[in-house]
């Protein structure tokens, strides 16, 4: 017997802003695949199908795209350099009442066993398990979006995270904190920090 469920639901502002909508991702052709895998699967297979054509792949993403960039870089050794703008911090910086986080970054079941540290460090390893790749995490000192909502990557947490990464001194894992507030990629920073190094 096959049962197809259907319903209409109006998501409230908090569910949309905090990406709680992601927990409802479902594919009837692959009912056992969890939402984060569904969110990543399209670009994952696209990169896998193209990676043989390139000597190097560089990936840049912001916000949810930054989250995906860190995840892809951890899963795909062919991504040689990755730049995660304004996504999420390791759990230790988000388990308090002062941070505003979202379902994909904290409440998805993947985080019962893993943390962002796992993906940050995987993003450094090549296919031979040598630390030959680069992963860059770029946050604003503060990030303000709509109704003055401050997000989990703001001051003081972004600075604390940078200080910790600097302290443990992991080669090719770089954290940059910009003195900015807008939830966007700073074009001048992009040109100076990334494009000049790529050319």
pLDDT tens profile 165-198? 999 888 899 999 988 888 888 889 988 888 876 6
Give the mean pLDDT of 75-85. Answer: 95
User: What is the percent of the chain where pLDDT is above 70?
Assistant: 76
| pLDDT in the model for residue 12 | 66
- 35 vs 164 pLDDT, higher one: 164
155 by DSSP, 3-state: which?
coil
Mean pLDDT check: name the lowest of 91-95, 130-134, 176-180: 91-95
- Quick one: residue 169, left, alpha or beta (phi over 0 = left, psi -120 to 50 = alpha)? left
184 by DSSP, 3-state: which?
coil
Query: Domains in the chain, please, with CATH?
Result: 13-198 (3.40.50)
Judged on CB neighbours under 10 Å (0-12, 13-18, 19+), 11 is exposed
- Measured between its terminal Cα atoms, the distance across the chain in Å is 59
* Rounded distance between C-alpha atoms, residue 162 and residue 137, angstroms: 9
User: What is the percent of the chain where pLDDT is above 90?
Assistant: 31
């Amino acid at each position: 017997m096959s049962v197809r469920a259907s319903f209409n639901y109006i998501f409230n502002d908090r569910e949309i802003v905090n990406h709680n909508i992601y927990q409802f991702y479902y594919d009837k052709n692959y009912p056992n695949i969890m939402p984060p895998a569904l969110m990543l699967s399209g670009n994952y297979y696209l990169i896998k199908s193209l990676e043989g054509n390139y000597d190097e792949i560089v990936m840049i993403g912001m916000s949810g795209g930054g989250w995906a960039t860190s995840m892809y870089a951890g899963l795909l050794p062919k991504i040689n350099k990755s730049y995660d703008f304004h996504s999420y911090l390791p759990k230790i910086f988000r388990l308090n009442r002062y941070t505003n986080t979202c379902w994909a970054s904290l409440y998805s079941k993947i985080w019962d066993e893993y943390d962002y540290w796992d993906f940050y460090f995987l993003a450094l390893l090549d296919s031979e398990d040598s630390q030959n790749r680069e992963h860059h995490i770029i946050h604003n000192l503060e990030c303000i979006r709509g109704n003055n909502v401050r997000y989990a990557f703001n001051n003081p947490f972004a600075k604390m995270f940078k200080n910790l990464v600097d302290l443990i001194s992991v080669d090719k894992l770089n954290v940059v904190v910009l003195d900015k507030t807008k939830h966007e990629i700073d074009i001048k920073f992009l040109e100076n920090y990334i494009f000049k190094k790529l050319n």
